[in-house]
Amino acid sequence: MRNPFNPLRGWHVLILILVFFGVTIGVNATFVTLALRTHPGEDVPRSYVQGLNYNETLDRRREQEALGWTARVNLVERDVVVAIVAADGNPVSGLDLAGTLIHPADTSRDCPLAFAEARPGVYRVTLPCEGQGDWRLEAHNREGAPFEMVSELWLP
């Protein structure tokens, strides 16, 4: 049987190079397409604008630190309970607390939260979304004194 590459000619080399680069480019294009469809890379909407306002964010964090407030987060069945205490040990009442329950891998599963004050300094919300595993809770005061918190939650 005769070897089709014997003798190796220029058009053989051209075909081998075209096939090699065609397969390489095809695989790369497939991987890029799949990566962009599954996770676009931007976890925070308008991250560029947030970066421009970062000095204001730092000022709010300094104000919050000066207040000396601390927060504890508990999970009671499907309710998230946040207790906020001032530096003097008194409960912090009257906040308009809102937040988001963030899924670590799928931003389409993130849930907005609107807390209600159950008793002075204790804010509660029933989780509107289903899911198990590791989640991140981000909460903030919508008006008035600056307050932001982040907490990791395990949902059974």
Residues 60 and 8: their CA atoms lie apart, in Å, by: 72
Our CA angle for 112, 115, 120, nearest 5°, is: 165
Does the pTM surpass 0.85? The reply is no
pLDDT, tens only, 77-119 = 888 899 999 888 888 888 888 899 888 887 788 889 888 888 8
pLDDT band at 5 (very low <50, low <70, confident <90, very high): low
Q: What is the mean pLDDT of the chain?
A: 85
End-to-end Cα spacing for the chain? 67
pLDDT band at 30 (very low <50, low <70, confident <90, very high): very high
Q: 30 in helix, strand or coil? A: helix
Residues 126 and 115: their CA atoms lie apart, in Å, by: 8
